[in-house]
Amino acid sequence: MSDFTTEILGFTALSIAGTALVAYAIYWALNDSPISRWLHDSDAVVPSFLSITAFIFGFTISTLAGYSFDRHQSATANLISESGAINTIVNAATNLPLQDQIQISSGLKDYIEAVLEKEWPAISGGVVERGEIAYPELMALSKIINQIAYQAHQRSSIENQLESALASIRHERQVRQVLAYGNQNLKRWIAIPISSFLLLLSVGIVHLGSLKAMKVSLSIASLCIVTAMIFLFITLSPYRGLNPIQPVQLQESLRILDILKSDKKN
């Protein structure tokens, strides 16, 4: 069983237990608490109250789901941009002396391998404290490119291509760090438990006339809340979940480097 599956099961159990506890507390407050008799006289406000809380809950979930989808799209664009910058450096290097080409290819290969073999497993596993993986390889690549780009007789077009592509790699890596580790703390999604509580409370109030109907309705509402929370948890990071982003473009860039290296040897 993978670590992420264990996390999902743990979050599911916690969500079910928490939602069930809140639903039971609301049921008790509406029927057995000292204020239950006063609440049973609230029939006049039931229709509007239920529609408002249902709208708040639906709006919260749809907003967060859309936000998760946007992060997934951004992660895909980020990967394509970084791979494109790497390919730009590779193409620019073909106009350089053989020794410079070898240095750049070696630096790119070390960086891509560090991302694929170290950084990507870390972000897909949600290991926040390992966010600086591949940074030394990036700095080594930057040093190589800067030394070559600022050679005394280097053509300005080559210099601009190398520096622009390097800046793009740095930027896209920072974006990936934000997408991977930003907004992972569920405390930032406080709107979900608040809107869920209001929804359960309104569902309970609207069924004050029938205890059986109240139990069934609270159960169904709780199931919907737990399902929505699990969905949001799974899609919280674009690099984890049921459909995570895979570094296919970077793997392709690495294959291109290997092909070019073989051609130089031949």
71-88 pLDDT, tens digit per residue, is 888 999 999 999 999 999
CA separation for the pair 214, 204 (Å, rounded): 6
* Whole-number CA gyration radius for the chain: 27
The beta strand positions in 9-52, using DSSP E, are none
CA separation for the pair 79, 3 (Å, rounded): 24
Token pair of 238, please? Answer: 């674009």
pLDDT value, residue 193? 85
Q: Is the pTM of this model over 0.85?
A: no
Q: Which residues contact 262 (CB under 8 A, 6 or more apart)?
A: none
Identity (one letter) of the amino acid at 194?
Answer: I
Query: Looking at residue 182, what DSSP letter applies?
Result: T
**Angle at the Cα of 245 from the Cα atoms of 242 and 250, rounded to 5 degrees:** 150
* Tens place of pLDDT per residue across the chain (266 aa): 567 778 778 888 888 898 899 898 888 888 877 766 666 665 555 556 667 777 788 888 888 778 788 888 899 999 999 999 999 999 888 888 888 888 999 999 999 999 999 888 888 876 655 557 888 999 999 999 999 888 878 788 888 898 999 999 999 998 988 888 765 555 667 888 888 888 888 888 777 777 888 888 889 889 988 988 888 888 778 888 778 888 999 999 888 887 776 666 55
CA separation for the pair 103, 141 (Å, rounded): 9
pLDDT value, residue 186? 58
Query: Looking at residue 196, what DSSP letter applies?
Result: H
* 3-state secondary structure (DSSP) of residue 214: helix
Per-residue pLDDT tens over the stretch 234-249 = 877 888 877 888 899 9
Residue pair 196/19 in contact by the 8 Å Cβ criterion: yes
Identity (one letter) of the amino acid at 42?
Answer: S
Q: Residue 2: which region, alpha, beta or left (left: phi > 0; alpha: psi -120 to 50)?
A: beta
pLDDT value, residue 265? 59
